[in-house]
Amino acid sequence: MSEAQVKSAMRAFEVLEHFKLSQQERSMSELAADLGYPQSSTTVLLKTLVKMGYLNYDRARRVYFPTSKVTTLGDWIPRALFGSGRILDAINDVHAITREGTFIGTKNDVYLQYLKTKDSLHALRFHIDEGTVRPITRSAAGWVLLSTLPDSKIENMVRRANIATSNPSERMKLDVVLREIEKIRHQGYASVEDLPFEGGATIAVLLPLKVQGQPATLAIGGAVYRFRKNFDKYLGALRSAVQALSPEDEFETPVQIEV
C-alpha cells in the first residue's frame, strides 16, 4: 500500500472522528480548516465517503453529516467484546459509587488501550477518549496487565514499550516496573499518583474475565486529593465489582496469571 493510500485511509477516519466530536453538520471548507487538509483533497475524500454511503451531502446547504451506515460498522462490537454485558455492569457499578472516571483497559501490543470509558462526574477531572492508547508501562492499569505475563516476557515488553515512548524522560526503568508488578501480585491491585497525568491518581484491578482472549483491567482515575481521601471506598468498589463477576459467559474466559 502506498503512502498516499495510507494517508487517505487515516484522513477518512479522522473525518468520522471529527463528526463524533462536533456532532453537527459541517461544510467542506470547515472540515478542511478544522483538520488542516488541502481543500482539493478534502473535496475528493468527502465525495468518496458520500459515494460509499457513510456521509450524507445536503447540496442546497453544502453540508455533510454521517449516515446510519457508520453506526452499523460497530454495533456488533460490544457483544463480541463484552458478551453478556456483565463487565459493562461492573464499570457502571463502580462509576455510580465513585463518580470518578472509570474504564476497562486491555493490552494492545505494547500499549494499554482504553476499551470502554465513563467520564468523571466531578468538576475537576481528566478526560480520556475511548480507544486511546498509551505505552503499557505508563499507568497503573498497564502494570496490572503486565502482571499477567510470565516474568520472562516482561523485560522484552518494557523494552519495546520504551522504544514506543517518544519522550525519553517518560521511559520506565525495568526495575521500577518489576517492583510495581511484585506489589500487584501480592496485594491484588495497583495504585499510582501523578501518572500518567500530573495531579492525577489511578487505582486498577484485574478482571477475572478476559475480553476477546485478552486480560482486562477495571480502573478509576481522578484527582489525587480525592483518591487520598476516599482510597478505601474506591478500592472497595473495585473489589466488589470484581467479586460479582464469574467466568460463565461463553464470550468470557477466566484470566490465568503466568509467573
Band of residue 250 on the pLDDT scale cut at 50, 70, 90: very low
Average pLDDT over residues 179-188: 97
The pLDDT value given to residue 213: 85
In sequence order, what are the beta bridge partners of 170?
none
pLDDT digits (tens, 9 = 90+) for 123-166: 999 989 888 999 999 999 999 999 999 988 999 999 999 999 99
Strands across the sheet with 111-118, in order?
133-135, 111-118, 101-108, 214-223, 200-211, 190-193
State the pTM of this model: 0.76
Band of residue 247 on the pLDDT scale cut at 50, 70, 90: low
C-alpha cell at 99: 463518580
Helices 28-35 and 3-22, interaxial angle, to 10°?
110
* Amino acid identity, position 54: Y
Query: Mean of the per-residue pLDDT values for the chain?
Result: 91
pLDDT digits (tens, 9 = 90+) for 82-107: 876 889 999 999 999 999 999 999 99
Q: Which of 13-17, 76-80, 122-126 has the lowest mean pLDDT?
A: 76-80
Reply yes or no on whether the pLDDT at 44 is more than 50: yes
